[in-house]
């Protein structure tokens, strides 16, 4: 079996996002994904399990649609 580690997109600023719509509250859209964090994990044979949360520019936490987060991370 492989080794896995649980992360959120907010950990180490993995996913930075913007607020989708103020009326929806803390819902975000990914704007930047720092792939270097994932590359470091992969090079150590660690499988990241990522919760779809992101960091706003002021450090706030935003919920991101899981499919949208997965697409942004896969494309990074």
Report how far residue 16's alpha carbon sits from residue 1's, in angstroms, rounded to the nearest whole number.
31
Q: Which residues contact 35 (CB under 8 A, 6 or more apart)?
A: 76
At 25 the pLDDT is 97
Find out whether 64 and 14 touch, Cβ atoms under 8 Å: no
Look-up: residue for tokens 């520019």? 57
**pLDDT digits 0-9 by tens, 14-62:** 999 999 999 999 999 999 999 999 999 999 999 999 999 999 999 999 9
pTM: predicted TM-score of the whole model, two decimal places = 0.91
pLDDT value at 1 more than 80? no
């Amino acid at each position: 079996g492989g080794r896995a580690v649980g992360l959120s997109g907010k950990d180490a600023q993995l996913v930075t996002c913007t607020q989708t719509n103020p009326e929806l509250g803390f819902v975000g859209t990914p704007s930047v994904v720092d792939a270097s964090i994932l590359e470091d994990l992969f090079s150590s044979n660690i499988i990241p399990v990522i919760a779809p949360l992101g960091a706003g520019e002021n450090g706030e936490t935003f919920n991101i649609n899981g499919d949208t987060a997965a697409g942004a991370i896969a494309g990074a």
